[in-house]
Structure 1
Amino acid sequence: MRHTRTLLLLCCLLLPFIVLKAQQPQTAKLKVAVFAPVYLDSVFTGDTFRPANSNSLPRYMLPGLDFYNGVMLAIDSLNTEQVPVQVLFYDTKSATVPLENMLESPEMNGTSLIIASFNARNEVKPVADYALRNNIPLLSSTYPNDGGVEGNPFFVLLNPTLRTHCEGLYRYLQRIYPTSSMVMFRKKGAAEDMIQSIFGEMARNTQGVPLKIKTVELPDSFTTAQVTGYLDSNRQNIVICGSLNETFGLSLTRSLNEARSSYRSIAAGMPTWDALKDIDKGIEIIYSTPYNYLRTDKEGLSFTTKYRNRYAGRPSDMAFKGFESMYHFTKLLVKHQSALINNLSDNSFKLFNEFNVQPVRISAANPMPAYLENKKLYFVRKIDGQIKSVSP
């Protein structure tokens, strides 16, 4: 796998960008630009491969590189279908070509769609501003942050913000446990204040019966007894983790696990729980995600096989995201052409997930959306590493 990826990196290095053209009869081609953090210059001097550790690539390269690998496999599929598209690929971590220069390069002229995998907040707005100036849809596929973008109806967050996850979790709990008493445990912090505030807004504005949630602020280091003091031994407890802090979340579920013989509990947590090992040890958890990659259905197995045959490894979620973003939205681009921005919720070419892209308005007085955002969430229930159910 390492040697295959090295060859791909060499191919990319030939230019500040790589141009990939579909093999199809001569026809008008649509142009798609892909931006991802591959960090080529950190492992190459000229054409010489020089990783710090000769046995492997640096770990910080792997997410962006796997996104790129997924994009490449999508291009293979588009080629097979003779889709008329030209793809430009840019490494946003280039040490020689600034992001602004990439955007203003002549090759970007005539671009119809931009797909980006950001990993830094300060990269978002320059690309979003370029997309707005040129009326090009920009899909932010992996970074759940608006980057300070406002008044830009061409900027699309496919990976939803924390607000969307909190609002979705509130509605889910309202639907499944409408009359249950709940406890939200949180720690001190600005993010925790935001989470509590969103839940408060939902309670005030809901058209149904508001959830009964007691909020408890715990110290950074807390004991199981401090948690169980707010639980009921006579019924199932619905516990909400009101913090993104991984250590806090792990400590909370560990306390619930230690007390499970006396207190039956289900823990509802943040989207970051998707990647936390042992967060569900001995305790059932619920969390939301916009990306439901089962890997056991027809499409998941097909992609995993393609990836293994090409790269001799197992695809990460970033590879799935790269493949899905490139294939699904390029097919929509071909179908809708210049009207793509108004049809991003068209699920005609669904692979793994559905998308429900809606305008986000910060002020009711301003009809212009701040940006567009995918509001589709899946709610995962897990225990001991095993998924019990996934529901919308």
Structure 2
Amino acid sequence: MGINMRKWILLLLIFIGGVINAQERTHHVEKGETLYSISRTYGVTIERLIESNPFLSEGLKEGQDLVIPASDVSRTRPSLPTIDTTRFDYHTVQAGETIYSLTREWGITYERLLELNPELSEGLKVNQKLKLPKGTLDETVGDVPAVKEGFIQHNVRRGETVYSLTKSIHWPAAELYEANPNLLEEGLKAGTMVWIPDNAVSRLYTKRDSLLGIEQVAIVDTTPNDSTEVEEEEDEPVSKYMVVRTGRDEDLTDLMEKYNVTFDELTRLNPELVGGTVQPNRNIIVPRPKADTASSPLLESLEGLDGMQLLSGQKIHIAVALPLYLEENDSLAMRYNMGEALPQVYSRSRFAFDFYSGLKLAIDTLLGYGLDVEIDIYDTRNDQVRVREIAREIRENKPDVVIGPLYSQNAETLARELEDTWIVSPLSRTINNSNTPKLVQAVTPMREEHLALAKWVNDSAKDANIIFVRRINDAEKVNIQHFMQYLEASETRTLSTLEMGEDLFSRSMVRNKMAAGRRDVFVILDSDPVLLTSFINSIASLNDSSATVLCTSRLLGNKTIEIEKLNKVDLYISDVEYVDYSSPNTNSFIARYREDMGTEPPRFAYHGYDVGMYFLPLFTLNKTYETDLWGGNQGIMKIHRFTQNDESVMVNSGVFLLHLENFRWTRIY
């Protein structure tokens, strides 16, 4: 081979090496990074990364140097969104804000916000700039809306105080704070604008400011002089609200229970609480307790409470509509009496009889407090034709409340037939009561379980690596989107998904989603038993204590997961049922049930007892059925904590968060 040929080959090799060096690079793994985030940064699949870095099959670790496949280096990091203030408004996300709180504040749907800001699918970030429809923020002057229905703006004068202002217009100070939440932090300052009721204009004179185009209000000096007859001073109007100061470590649940206020009303009065964070030593507005309900047993656990004496001499008329299958059970009882069969209950009525046994024990308890209970029993037979027949009888008898039916379709049918009657469906979680607000779903809906898990993430995993585990379907995508709306903005939290298609999960699939040097939190809202079993088996095999798993109560219904596998995982679940066997109330209930029934109380007997002990006093002491008096109580198995949603439907938000430790469930909250 000639010299020239050798030089040409050498130059060719140098050129090829230069091209390779120009295309192939390394990436130094920083704390918190995942294979998913790195693959997104460089536009390369996880499979290609593992192919170029075989050691990744054992997991990503902080400090590693990865080779980035050459063919994908041309892909660059996503460019920052351009700012176009002529077509859009922009908002910089603050710590503690959530997508839910922002959409409520701006009156914009989540879908529209996501359409303008696709990056929200990866979570809300502190200092992130959100694009909004033009005009969304134009309706405010500083932090004060330019229009507020039923109110007019007043320019605060020098020397004016909250007392002098509210006294002059005969308006309670707490309602001034409600209309002007900024006053709680900033106080009343001369030259600023505050809202006062437009019907206060009769006590004021008004003038038009042509520049601002708003009503400016000055207070007329009504101080009497010597020649003016002094009228008898009117009584100070009693406000339905009061201003209180938050304590250390208080959360929304504490405030709701302490002041007997619903979530919706609490956040309406104090919009800064929508995100779920309660700052200590801050002034907030809460409803003033009503004198006749201050000691109401609706606000606390009822068993053994002195306030239960309020029931003495009271009367309630209830109807119980359950699938009791009385004819079949009568037949079985007859055969037993004739020695032809063992003592048994017709199988299709088992849940109903268990529930009724607990309800009956609750009624016996309330009778002991002097409550007079009139009860009508109806056998629905789980048949909608029969339910319509029952509806006519119930309408004639006019009970205060109906307990039952058990199944959603029957409950919805009865509610349509009896629009003016309160109906409590005690066990179904699939009730559609959007058009029948007097139909109450006693069991907490699954959505509230999701919110309890989101609360845990906000409290305990602000900067974690969150991985949503799901099947590839639209329903689970919607659940995750809803969950993400309640996550507070974070500077460092990462979000991704681990999806199961036709193949089951493997150890490597799970490990590849885990972050280097960061806490990993896997969130499973999906109830698919195959997905749950496959994932738990895979993550348990990793023996990695840094990984936490959040699940709903659907996990406990899965019979294919071994308890030993669950115990290997740092597992939290949301649940609507939890029995504290160390509680005296629980032990008293069990002892009484054994004495009355000669057996251990089954699961649905606890439900029956809790439903009776909550709803019967509620409808006895609250004959006007005011929903703001519903409050909440901790039962033997369940929490009843009702709030009113945007459709005026009462929703139970009572959820437990449980942690599995050494094969035992421990209540976190």
TM-score (norm 2): 0.48
Amino acid at match of 1:126: T
Hey, what's the Cα distance between the residues in 1 that align with 2:475 and 2:330? 39
Cα 1:340–1:196 change in 2 (3 A) is same
Which residue does the alignment assign to 2:555? 273
Are 1:330 and 2:613 counterparts? no
Match of 1:292 among 574, 578, 585: 578
Amino acid at match of 2:369: E
Match of 1:123 among 410, 420, 427: 410
Hey, what's the Cα distance between the residues in 2 that align with 1:142 and 1:322? 9
Hey, what's the Cα distance between the residues in 1 that align with 2:329 and 2:383? 11
Cα 1:340–1:64 change in 2 (3 A) is farther
Residues 249-303 of structure 1 deviation map (CA, whole Å, 9 limit, x = unaligned): 232122211111x463221001223444545232232111233321320111111
Which residue does the alignment assign to 1:255? 538
Residues 327-368 of structure 1 deviation map (CA, whole Å, 9 limit, x = unaligned): 222122222223354422254x8655543211222xxxxxx5
Hey, what's the Cα distance between the residues in 2 that align with 1:210 and 1:63? 48
Amino acid at match of 2:645: V
Runs of 4 or more above 6 Å deviation: 207-210
Indicate the SS of the match to 2:437.
coil
Which residue does the alignment assign to 1:19? none
Are 1:88 and 2:371 counterparts? no
Hey, what's the Cα distance between the residues in 2 that align with 1:247 and 1:384? 25
Of all paired residues, the percent bearing the same amino acid is 15
Which residue does the alignment assign to 1:138? 423
Which residue does the alignment assign to 2:599? 313
Indicate the SS of the match to 2:668.
strand
Residue 141 of structure 1 and its aligned partner are, at CA, apart by: 2.2
Are 1:212 and 2:494 counterparts? yes
Given that residues 36 and 67 in structure 1 are in contact (C-alpha distance below 8 angstroms), is that contact kept between their aligned partners in structure 2? Answer: no
Hey, what's the Cα distance between the residues in 1 that align with 2:573 and 2:620? 35
Point out the structure with max Rg over C-alpha. Answer: 2
Cα 1:165–1:40 change in 2 (3 A) is same
Hey, what's the Cα distance between the residues in 1 that align with 2:329 and 2:485? 48
Hey, what's the Cα distance between the residues in 1 that align with 2:403 and 2:493? 38
Cα 1:222–1:60 change in 2 (3 A) is farther
Match of 1:303 among 586, 589, 592: 589
Matches within 5 A, 1:171-186: 171-186=455-470
Hey, what's the Cα distance between the residues in 1 that align with 2:627 and 2:620? 12
Hey, what's the Cα distance between the residues in 2 that align with 1:318 and 1:58? 16
Given that residues 186 and 242 in structure 1 are in contact (C-alpha distance below 8 angstroms), is that contact kept between their aligned partners in structure 2? Answer: yes
Indicate the SS of the match to 2:644.
strand
Cα 1:60–1:276 change in 2 (3 A) is farther
Hey, what's the Cα distance between the residues in 2 that align with 1:219 and 1:372? 38
Given that residues 286 and 381 in structure 1 are in contact (C-alpha distance below 8 angstroms), is that contact kept between their aligned partners in structure 2? Answer: yes
Given that residues 293 and 352 in structure 1 are in contact (C-alpha distance below 8 angstroms), is that contact kept between their aligned partners in structure 2? Answer: yes
Are 1:372 and 2:650 counterparts? yes
Residue 110 of structure 1 and its aligned partner are, at CA, apart by: 1.9
Hey, what's the Cα distance between the residues in 1 that align with 2:331 and 2:422? 35
Given that residues 236 and 263 in structure 1 are in contact (C-alpha distance below 8 angstroms), is that contact kept between their aligned partners in structure 2? Answer: no
Indicate the SS of the match to 2:608.
helix
Which residue does the alignment assign to 1:12? none
**Worse overlay, 325-334 or 192-201:** 192-201
Are 1:35 and 2:290 counterparts? no
Given that residues 295 and 304 in structure 1 are in contact (C-alpha distance below 8 angstroms), is that contact kept between their aligned partners in structure 2? Answer: no
Cα 1:106–1:372 change in 2 (3 A) is closer
- Root mean square deviation of aligned Cα: 3.1
Hey, what's the Cα distance between the residues in 2 that align with 1:87 and 1:165? 34
Given that residues 34 and 88 in structure 1 are in contact (C-alpha distance below 8 angstroms), is that contact kept between their aligned partners in structure 2? Answer: yes
Hey, what's the Cα distance between the residues in 2 that align with 1:54 and 1:95? 28
Residues 207-255 of structure 1 deviation map (CA, whole Å, 9 limit, x = unaligned): 7779532112112533233222212474542111131112322321222
Hey, what's the Cα distance between the residues in 2 that align with 1:59 and 1:250? 30
Cα 1:208–1:58 change in 2 (3 A) is farther
Amino acid at match of 1:336: N
Given that residues 233 and 263 in structure 1 are in contact (C-alpha distance below 8 angstroms), is that contact kept between their aligned partners in structure 2? Answer: no
Residue 101 of structure 1 and its aligned partner are, at CA, apart by: 0.8
Residue 85 of structure 1 and its aligned partner are, at CA, apart by: 1.5
Cα 1:61–1:222 change in 2 (3 A) is farther
* Structure 2: runs of 5 or more not aligned: 1-311
Amino acid at match of 2:425: S
Given that residues 196 and 242 in structure 1 are in contact (C-alpha distance below 8 angstroms), is that contact kept between their aligned partners in structure 2? Answer: yes
Match of 1:239 among 518, 522, 527: 522
Indicate the SS of the match to 2:549.
strand
Given that residues 154 and 341 in structure 1 are in contact (C-alpha distance below 8 angstroms), is that contact kept between their aligned partners in structure 2? Answer: no
Hey, what's the Cα distance between the residues in 2 that align with 1:90 and 1:189? 42
Indicate the SS of the match to 2:449.
helix
Given that residues 288 and 379 in structure 1 are in contact (C-alpha distance below 8 angstroms), is that contact kept between their aligned partners in structure 2? Answer: yes
Given that residues 317 and 375 in structure 2 are in contact (C-alpha distance below 8 angstroms), is that contact kept between their aligned partners in structure 1? Answer: yes
**Worse overlay, 37-46 or 307-316:** 37-46
Given that residues 510 and 538 in structure 2 are in contact (C-alpha distance below 8 angstroms), is that contact kept between their aligned partners in structure 1? Answer: yes
Given that residues 40 and 94 in structure 1 are in contact (C-alpha distance below 8 angstroms), is that contact kept between their aligned partners in structure 2? Answer: no
Q: How many residues align?
A: 350
Residue 59 of structure 1 and its aligned partner are, at CA, apart by: 5.1
Amino acid at match of 1:181: N
Cα 1:381–1:96 change in 2 (3 A) is closer
Indicate the SS of the match to 2:523.
strand
Given that residues 185 and 240 in structure 1 are in contact (C-alpha distance below 8 angstroms), is that contact kept between their aligned partners in structure 2? Answer: yes
Given that residues 575 and 657 in structure 2 are in contact (C-alpha distance below 8 angstroms), is that contact kept between their aligned partners in structure 1? Answer: yes
Hey, what's the Cα distance between the residues in 1 that align with 2:569 and 2:341? 39
Indicate the SS of the match to 1:165.
helix
Higher RCO (CA-CA < 8 Å; seq separation 6+): 1
Residues 58-101 of structure 1 deviation map (CA, whole Å, 9 limit, x = unaligned): 65533222111101111221222221111223333267970111
Hey, what's the Cα distance between the residues in 2 that align with 1:299 and 1:156? 26
Hey, what's the Cα distance between the residues in 2 that align with 1:241 and 1:144? 19
Cα 1:343–1:296 change in 2 (3 A) is same
Matches within 5 A, 1:11-160: 29-45=315-331, 48-49=334-335, 54=342, 56-57=344-345, 60-93=348-381, 98-105=386-393, 109-116=397-404, 118-119=406-407, 121-131=408-418, 133-134=419-420, 136-147=421-432, 149-160=433-444
Indicate the SS of the match to 1:314.
coil
Indicate the SS of the match to 2:485.
helix
Cα 1:49–1:116 change in 2 (3 A) is farther
Indicate the SS of the match to 1:293.
coil
Cα 1:39–1:255 change in 2 (3 A) is farther
TM-score (norm 1): 0.78
Hey, what's the Cα distance between the residues in 2 that align with 1:47 and 1:104? 30
Residue 54 of structure 1 and its aligned partner are, at CA, apart by: 4.7
Cα 1:95–1:295 change in 2 (3 A) is same
Residue 385 of structure 1 and its aligned partner are, at CA, apart by: 3.1
Hey, what's the Cα distance between the residues in 1 that align with 2:375 and 2:364? 12
Which residue does the alignment assign to 2:643? 358
**Worse overlay, 293-302 or 266-275:** 266-275
